[in-house]
Amino acid sequence: MLLRIKQQGLDIVPRILIVKRLLPDAVGVTCNQRLEKVYGTEHSHILRVLFRTEKGILRKWISRIEVWPYLETFAECTIAHALEKTKYPDSDIYWKNFEEKYHFSCQFTADLYVMNHTDFIITSTFQEIVGSKDTVGQYG
């Protein structure tokens, strides 16, 4: 990335912020740190923000499936964590059967919207993108 920035004639230092939720009561992990350097990088940090409700700060951990209502309070858009179709077989076909527990209609709609409006997608593995002989890729 630094080489591309230089080749494009820009004189800037990138600053990459990964925004996550701050868990002020977390113990034994770094989730209670507001700003954390990403190990092995020069220009990347994790910035953690508090989730708030009408009753105050949300101090407990909640599943990413329950996160959507809080995102609108501090961001116009988010990174799609993953469609996770490999974790929930047939969730795209039988999503109504799991709607009450996993809120797939909201989760899939938000993830697809974000993925279709993003500049790039970062994945953990090539198989996550295109799949394998036994699984369907999520982004291919």
Buried b (16+ CB within 10 A) or exposed e, 125-139: eeebeebeeeeebbe
Residue 111 host element (H or E): helix 104-116
pLDDT tens digits, 74-119:
666 755 555 555 566 666 677 788 788 777 777 777 777 777 777 6
User: Which tokens sit at 129?
Assistant: 């993108």
Whether the full predicted model's pTM is greater than 0.85, yes or no, is no
- The C-alpha angle 137, 139, 21, rounded to 5 degrees, equals 110
